Structure 1
Amino acid sequence: FINTLDTETIQSLALASRRKLSASALESVLPLTLSCVVVLPPKNGSDNIVYELIFSDDIHWAVRVPFQQWSDLRSESMRLDIVAQHYILSCTSVPLPRIHSYCLDEKNPLGHPYMMTDWASGVRLVDVWDDPGWWQPPRTKERFLASLARHMAELASLEFEKIGRLDSTEQGDSHFVGPFPSRHALCRTTRLLSPDSQIGPFESTHAYLSLPLDERRRSRDNELLAVLSLLLAGLPDPRFDAPPFVLGHPDFDSQNVFISEETAELSAMIDWDGVAVLPRQLGALTYPAWLTVDWNPIMYSSYKEQQHCDTEEELHEYRAMYTEAMRTLSAEYAEATRNSHILSTLAIAVAEEFTTGAIVYHLGKFAFGSRLLMYDLLEGIKRAPWFNLIPGDVARV
C-alpha cells in the first residue's frame, strides 16, 4: 500500500492547503519560498499510514491515509469523525490535533482519502508509563492523571440525549445525534449473519450494549453468551443507564495519548476514528484503558510479560487516584468514573469475541465470589430448560 503513495503529491497537497489557509486569513502570510519535507518512513497505525510533514517555517503537520479498502460506509464514518472533532475543538480545550484539510474519497491527486492535521507534540505515554526512571518530579503520574481528568471532565460537560454518532445540519449551524453507520462495527471482532446497516441512535446504555450481544446470540449462541446476558442485566449501575450521554475517545489507550516532556501533563490525544456519543461510563467518564487492563485477563496476561508492569494493586491505586482527581472537579463525575471499569469490561466482552470467555469468568468471580461457582453455573446453564427452550414451546422446569 505504501508504494502507491507518492510523497511529491503529498508535498503538493500540503503546500496547497497551507496557501489556502493563509489566503483565508486563518494563518499569517506565508514565506514565498515555503517548502515541505515528508518524513520517511511513515508510521503505521491500526487503520492509517501516517506521515510527518515538516514545513520550512518549522510548522509540523501529519497526513493520515487509511489503508483499508474504501467504501461509502467508511467515507460516511470519516465525515462524522470530522464533524465530532470540529465540535470538540470549538467547545473545549481538549488537545485534539486541528484538522486543516481532508478528502473523503479517492478522487484527488493522491488517489486515496486523507486527512491533514497538526502533528501531535509531546511524548507518547505508552513509551514512558512503565519506565520508573522517567517519572521524576515535576513529572509525576498523579500530575498527569489530574490533567487528563480535567480534560475528560470538560468533554463530559457536552451532554446529549441519545447514544450514536454526532452529526450536523448541512449548514453546520446545529448538531444532533444520529445512527451508527454500521451495526457490524458494534461487534468489532465477531462475524454476524445479519446484513450490515445503520443502527441507532439508542436511548439507554442497556439498549446500546444489548443489541450487539443479541446479534451474537442469534448468530451462534452458547452458555458463555447466556451468562454474559445475565451479567449485563445485573452489573451495570442503573443510575447511568439513561441520559445524559457524552462523547468519548474511541480508543482511550496509552498509544494515543501524548504528554509534555517537561511537566507530564496531557499535550495531545490522537486517533479519534469512530468517535461517538456514548454512555457516561464508556465515554468521557470512563477510566483510560491502561488503568483497567487487569480486568481483561487476556490482555493482562500479555502485559505482565513486560519488564516493568503494573500489579493489580498498583492499577487499583491508580484508579483511585484518577477518581479523586475527577472528584476535585465534580462529585457527580467521580461517582460515574469510580466503577466505570465494570461497564467497560462488559462492553469489551460483548464486542470482542476472543475476550468473552476470560472476561465472563473474571466478572463471575466479581459477581459470585468464585471462578469455580462460575464454572458450575456455565455447566448448569448448558443443560438448563431456559437455555434450551425451543421457540414456540411453553417453559417448564
Structure 2
Amino acid sequence: MARSSSSLTSEDPAEAFIATLNLGAIETLALQARLNDKFEDRPLEERSSLPSNLSCTIHSPPEYGSYNVVYELTFSDGAHWALRIPYEEWNSIRATSMRLDILAQQYISSHTSVPIPHIHAYSCTTENALGHPYLITDFARGARLVDVWNDPSWWTGARRKERMFASLSRYMSELGSLEFDKIGRLDRVEPGGPYFIAPFPSRVALNDALDGPDGEMGPFSNLHEYLGTLLAERRKRYDSPRLAALSILLGSLPDPRYDSAPFIFNHPDFDSQNIFVDEGTAEVSAMIDWDGVAVVPRQLGALTYPAWITVDWDPIMYRLYKQKPHYDTEDDLHGYRTMYTALSQAQADVTRNSHVVSAIACAITEEHTTADIVHHLFNFVFGSSMFEALMGLENAPWYNIGLLDIARVTESHWNYFQNGDDSNEYNSADGEGEKDRGTGEDP
C-alpha cells in the first residue's frame, strides 16, 4: 500500500472505518508485540506480566490506500513499526489469502536478502482485541520512489538511477532464484511441514473482469494454461474481437522457452509506490505491499521489468503519466529497459521482452486496459495494418463461428476485403462486437 497520505473525506469509506477503531486496543496489541520481541527468550505466559516502562505512540490520523489503513507506531525504546489493518469486508477467502501472503513473505525473507519489512505480529481473523485482522511490521525507511523518480533535483551526487536499478536488480535476481514446479500460492499444512504450491484462493482477485461465485483456481502447469484459463473465463461471460485478438496474441507472443517450470515468485504490484530508496545512496531500502504474492511464470515474476519503466505499454496509464511536469518519454523508458536488462546477464533473456507478456496479462486481467493494450500489441505485431487486422478479425469466420457450426470460408468473406467494405468500422473506444459465445449471436 502507498505510504502517502490520502485526505479523509465524507465520501471515503476509510473515514467511517477509522472512526470505529479503538486506539487503546491498537496500543495494547503494539505493546504486547514489542514485549514479545524484547523478551522472546522468556515463556509466552510470562511476557505480559514482566515489568516494563515501555510506551507506544500511535501517529494519528493514519494513512490509507484502497484497501488498508496504516498507523505509524513509535516506541520509547526506539523501535519504529507500522500497523496495517484491511478495511474490506472480511471473509474466509481474504483470511486465507492474508495467511498465504505472510507465509510467502516469511519464506522469502528466510531465503534471500530482499528488504521486506520484518513481520512482528499478525492476525488473519477478527477474533482479537482489535476486532479486525492486522499486520505489524517494521516501518519502511527511505524515500518512496514514486515521490522522487520524476524530480530531477533529487537525482544528484551519489543518488543515481543506475545505482537504484543495480540494487533492485540484485534483489529481484535473488527472488528469482527461488524456483517451484507449479503456478499458484505457496502453502504448507503446519509449521515446519513441507511447502507446496496450492490453488489461488480467489478467482475474482486474479481477474477484475470476473463476477459470480468466488472460489479457488489452479494450480497451473504452464503459462498458457494459466493465462488461457483467465482469458477463457472472461470470454465465457461475454466475447469481443479484442478478447479473440488476445487469444491469438497469447498463442504467439510469449517465448515458449519460459512457458513451463521452473516458476518463480512475483512482486504482485512491482511499481514505484512500493519501492523505498535510501536518501543518501538511492539504493533500494524496502519493498512493501506483497498482498497476493504468488508463484508465476518467469516473465511475469521477479525477472520482469518494474512497472514504471513499461508504462508506455499500457496506453491508458501512459496518457495519465504524461500529464506530469516531468515524465519519461518512450525513448527514456526504452533506455531504462535496456539498462535494466544489462544489469543481469544471467537473466537477460527472460527479462528482455517480458514487458510484452506482462502487457498480455494486464489486458486479460484488468478489463479497463483491454482495448488500448490490444491495439498497442496489434500495432507491435501488424504495424500500419493494425486496424485492418482487427476489422478482419471482427468479421472473420473464426471469430463468428457458433458452437454447432462447421468451419468454412465462403466467397462472401473474400469479397468483404476485396471490396474494402467499411460498413462495420472497428471502433476502438467502445465495446461493439461483444457477443454470446454460447450461441454465436449478438446479445
- TM-score, normalized by length of structure 2? 0.85
Aligned in 2, Cα 1:31/1:136: closer, same or farther, shift over 3 Å?
Answer: farther
Match of 2:288 among 234, 259, 270: 270
- Partner SS, residue 197 of structure 2: strand
Which residue in the other structure is 1:192 paired with? 211
Q: How does 1:319-338 map to 2 (within 5 A)?
A: 319-327=337-345, 330=346, 333-338=347-352
Q: Does 1:2 align with 2:18?
A: yes
Q: Does 1:352 align with 2:366?
A: yes
CA distance in 2, matches of 1:172, 1:49: 32
CA distance in 1, matches of 2:172, 2:105: 14
Paired AA for residue 107 in structure 1: E
CA distance in 2, matches of 1:318, 1:31: 54
- Partner SS, residue 42 of structure 1: strand
Q: Which runs of 5+ in 1 are unaligned?
A: none
Match of 2:382 among 349, 359, 368: 368
Which residue in the other structure is 2:57 paired with? 37
Deviation at 1:375, TM superposition (A): 1.7
Which residue in the other structure is 1:381 paired with? 393
Paired AA for residue 116 in structure 1: I
CA distance in 2, matches of 1:133, 1:283: 32
Paired AA for residue 362 in structure 2: I
Which residue in the other structure is 1:97 paired with? 117
Paired AA for residue 385 in structure 1: P
Match of 2:29 among 13, 33, 37: 13
Q: Which runs of 5+ in 2 are unaligned?
A: 1-16, 410-443
Match of 2:186 among 153, 160, 166: 166
Identity between Structure 1 and Structure 2 (%): 57
- Partner SS, residue 344 of structure 2: helix
Match of 2:198 among 159, 163, 178: 178
Which residue in the other structure is 1:288 paired with? 306
CA distance in 1, matches of 2:192, 2:298: 25
CA distance in 1, matches of 2:253, 2:113: 34
Is the 1:192–1:216 contact (alpha carbons within 8 Å) kept by the matching residues of 2?
no
Q: Does 1:69 align with 2:69?
A: no
Which residue in the other structure is 2:425 paired with? none
- Partner SS, residue 61 of structure 2: coil
Which residue in the other structure is 2:432 paired with? none
Q: Does 1:57 align with 2:71?
A: no
- TM-score, normalized by length of structure 1? 0.95
CA distance in 2, matches of 1:177, 1:49: 30
CA distance in 2, matches of 1:23, 1:66: 28
CA distance in 2, matches of 1:270, 1:159: 21
Deviation at 1:175, TM superposition (A): 1.1
Deviation at 1:45, TM superposition (A): 2.2
CA distance in 2, matches of 1:126, 1:25: 40
Q: Does 1:117 align with 2:137?
A: yes
Is the 1:192–1:215 contact (alpha carbons within 8 Å) kept by the matching residues of 2?
no
Paired AA for residue 378 in structure 1: L
Is the 1:248–1:277 contact (alpha carbons within 8 Å) kept by the matching residues of 2?
yes
Deviation at 1:384, TM superposition (A): 1.6
CA distance in 1, matches of 2:402, 2:358: 32
- Partner SS, residue 274 of structure 1: coil
Paired AA for residue 358 in structure 1: D
- Partner SS, residue 43 of structure 1: strand
Deviation at 1:41, TM superposition (A): 1.6
- Partner SS, residue 350 of structure 1: helix
Deviation at 1:31, TM superposition (A): 8.2
Taking only aligned residues, the RMSD between alpha carbons, in angstroms, comes to: 1.4
Paired AA for residue 138 in structure 1: A
Deviation at 1:104, TM superposition (A): 0.8
Length, aligned pairs only: 387
- Partner SS, residue 41 of structure 1: strand
C-alpha distance after superposition, 1:281-325 (max 9, x if no partner): 111000000010001000000000000000000000001111111
